[in-house]
Amino acid sequence: MDAVDNTILIRLRDTIERALRVPHYRSAFANVGIASAEDIQTIEDFQKIPVTHKEDLRQNYPIGLFAEPLENIVRIQASSGTTGKMTVVGYTAKDIDMWAAAVAKALERAGITPQDIVQVGYGYGLFTGGLGLHYGSERLGALTIPLSGGNTERHIAFLRDLKSTVLACTPSYALHIAAAAADMGLTPKDFHLRVGVFGAEPWTEAMRGEIKQRLGLERALDIYGLSEVMGPGVAMECVHMKGLHLAPNFYPEILDDQGRVVPQGRKGELVLTSMGKEAFPSVRYRTKDLTTLTYGHCACGFCGWSLEKISGRVDDMLIIRGVNVFPSQIEEAILAVEGIEPHYLIVVDRQGALDALEVQVEVAPEVVDEISLLEDLREKLSQRIYTILGLGARVRFVEPRSLPRSEGKAVRVLDKRK
Amino acid sequence: MLQLSIFLENAKGRLAQALSVLAELNVNIQALSLADTKDYGVLRLIVDNPEKVEAQLKERAYVVKVTPVWCLRVEDRPGGLAEVLGKLVERGVVVEYMYGFVEKAGEMAQIVLRVRDQAVMEAAMGELREF
């Protein structure tokens, strides 16, 4: 939908009016000649507004971008700070309510009902994952188990003993739970899982198949969100898996690498503006996530924007010997080779004048014995990577559990050139 | 007979660490061989209760596998092994790898054999027993 209807403009003007209470936005808007919400008459006017970067949040740490006084704020959350200084966001009671409703609606479209038992393995605390999922699941009326991340044995015990039907965590943690359960001699038949709600890091279709099989899931669905605009539930796949349906509280745009808005269907960086959020209005926030947008109806009843599964992050892209490489491409190669585990670390280094790409992977127990078989696997993976990237990679087998698995965001790239 | 194979990174102290875990588990190693490459190696062991040790090692996050192998006794003299192996090869047996050890008491040596095709080996062994 390139022609934006009037309702959207009215809601965007509300956000602008709210943002004008914040000194940072007031001066940023003034630089492009916007002094009041009434200066936004068309979507072209809106597109003149400067984008907001993560760095703006950092510079206004902790509460410089809040549009409500602290007495109206009932909750703060903060980003994990894996890539720098922490950023803090706030919510009014109405914001929390809107967030819970958005997550509940998303879970409902995923085929989750009040009869389900939802086990939450996202971290509880400042990270939005745990509490975001929790409130939404409770709002839906499902029994919600606040296990948080990290205690894998307890996760396995609850999956078995309480017969949880839904697992919500990062995809890498889901695989970690599956591996630990297999080591304890358990199979998917010992569990009662039906649906997986996985997010907080990009994951591929191949990874989806792998997790479904290892945990015996009917469906593994992608949930998307970030604290800077709300938290999990900004968008999520429904049972039909036709993209991640964007909650109606956000206006999306896609920018190309020059920062220009691109037409619908073209890939680029997702930029989000909140509509109706009080404490922390998001104004053209650059998510750094790469996707494409479509607008339309879905068989689940949803009508609005949907995001294609996030294919990577703008800052995840590595340039190796002049070739653009996304970790998701290497993940695809790894998952295509049987006998290699879906955990990996990409190490880029400079040897002399040349960039060297090393891919560290773990091998599955089935293939451990004959060296010739292991060497065949190594060759196969390195050829696969070559086919996808056009780049030679050194494949290195490492011992299990030596590669990162996360409850938050997995670190999959080590760039030693920096 | 079942053999235990453990994947190890080719890094300082990894072998020693694995062996000390086995000591802790009170595992007596009857025979062993180590195949190594630049980055990693496979430690192959003949132990009592290999499946139990496999489970214990998995709990400790090792990549382990039990593999069926053949354990043959050959005479501990020049040509003892060559003779037996010659007979097996004549009967179509393909050896993937092997290693040997000498019994503490007696004049026999033992060899551990991993073959490509179990059925061919079984047939060959059946014929050899008839001699």
Q: What is the pLDDT of residues A66-78, one digit of tens each?
A: 999 999 999 999 9
Residue in B closest to A396 by C-alpha: B39
Mutate to test the interface with A, among B14, B39, B42 (most CBs of A within 10 A): B39
Number of domains in chain B: 2
- Residue B7 shares a structural domain with residue B63: yes
A chain contacts of residue B55, beta-carbon cutoff 8 Å = 185
The full set of domain ranges for chain A reads 91-253, 317-415
- Alpha-carbon distance of A369 to B43, in angstroms, equals 8
- For residue A383, give every residue at least 6 positions away whose Cβ sits within 8 Å of its Cβ, in sequence order, or none: none
The H or E element containing residue A329 is helix A327-336
CATH number, domain containing residue B63? 3.30.2130.10
Q: Domain range holding B41?
A: 2-67
Instruction: Pick the last residue of a domain from B67, B102, B117.
Output: B67
DSSP assigned state of A204: -
* Domain final position from B21, B40, B67: B67
Q: What architecture (CATH level 2) is domain A317-415?
A: 2-Layer Sandwich (3.30)
Which chain A residue has its CA at the smallest distance from B7's CA? A368
Q: Are residues B45 and B83 in the same domain?
A: no
The alpha-carbon radius of gyration of chain B (Å, integer) is 16
Question: A414 falls in which pLDDT band (50, 70, 90)?
Answer: confident
Q: Which of B67, B89, B107 is the last residue of a domain?
A: B67
Task: Closest CB to A399: pick one of B9, B59, B97.
Answer: B9
Q: Is the pLDDT of residue B131 over 80?
A: no
Token representation of residue B121: 């080996």
- A11 φ, ψ to 5°? -70, -40
Between B7, B55, B59, which is nearest A363 by CB? B7
Q: How far is CA A327 from CA A205, A314, A367, B121, B131, in A?
A: 14, 11, 25, 46, 61
Instruction: Specify whether B94 is located in the same domain as B108.
Output: yes
For residues B63 and B76, membership in a common domain is answered with: no
CATH of residue B106: 3.30.70.260
Residue B130 at interface with chain A, using a CB cutoff of 8 Å: no
Domain A91-253: assigned CATH number: 3.40.50.12780
**Pick the residue with more confidence: B83 or A408?**
B83
Could you tell me the pLDDT band of residue A4, with boundaries at 50, 70 and 90?
low
CB proximity B88 to A under 8 Å: no
Q: Do B48 and B88 share a domain, yes or no?
A: no
How many percent of chain A have pLDDT more than 90? 75
Specify the DSSP class assigned to residue A405: -
For chain A, state the CA radius of gyration: 22
The CA distance from B7 to A368, in Å, is: 6
Are B43 and B79 members of one domain? no
Does B63 share its domain with B75?
Answer: no
Spatial neighbors of B96 by CB under 8 A, at least 6 apart, are A370, A372, B114, B115, B116
User: How many beta-carbon pairs under 8 angstroms link A with B?
Assistant: 61
Task: Give the closest-approach CA distance of B65 to chain A in angstroms.
Answer: 6
**Do B34 and B21 reside in the same domain of the chain?**
yes
Give the residue carrying structure tokens 């393995």: A121
Complex ipTM over 0.90: no
Considering the domain architecture, whether residues B76 and B59 belong to the same structural domain is answered as no
Q: Give the nearest chain A residue to B115 (CA atoms).
A: A370
Closest residue, chain A, to B36 (C-alpha): A371
SS3 assignment, position A214: helix
User: Is a pLDDT exceeding 60 seen at residue B53?
Assistant: yes
* Residue B42 to residue A369, Cβ atoms within 8 A: yes
Out of A185, A366, A396, name the one closest to residue B39 (CB). A396
Q: What 3-state DSSP class applies to A8? A: helix
| CB-CB contact of A7 with A13 (8 Å) | no
Same domain, B78 and B125: yes
